[in-house]
Amino acid sequence: MTDTPLYYVITANDLYDGEVVFWSGTDQWDALLGNAYAFDDRNDAEGIITGLRADQVVGGYAIPVTRNDHGELIPTHLREAIRATGPTNYFHGKQNDRQISSSYSASLSEYDQLSFQKGAQ
């Protein structure tokens, strides 16, 4: 069995609209996990967190992620997968914009996949 390498991504909430965002570079934030900068070392991510601008985001922290076979970032915890894709009860925001990674939809249960497909119409 091979160990899947862990990476770390910084997530926070946008100060103005509350949207979940991911650090993508110096003073740059993106709503899509796929555009986030992935650190090899948690300490490097924590170093960036200490210098986050309080006029941009609140509640910044590092989350562990892995990469799938296509190189896409995948959260290792359900909470972070939900934060990355949006609410689970209806489609709006990221889901409505149809910018959800196919990796997330593939990890849903059969029932959720049907709901996902129905909501995406």
* Edge-to-edge order in the sheet of strand 73-75: 28-30, 20-25, 7-14, 57-67, 73-75
Rounded CA-CA distance 68/111 in Å is 23
In the numeric block, the tokens 């497909």 are attached to: 117
Per-domain boundaries in the chain: 7-86
Q: What is the pLDDT of residue 121?
A: 39
Model pTM? 0.73
Pull the structure tokens for residue 103: 């990796």
Residues 79-106 have pLDDT tens digits of 998 898 877 666 656 655 554 445 455 5
Determine which helix (DSSP H) or strand (DSSP E) holds 83, and give its type and residue range. helix 78-85
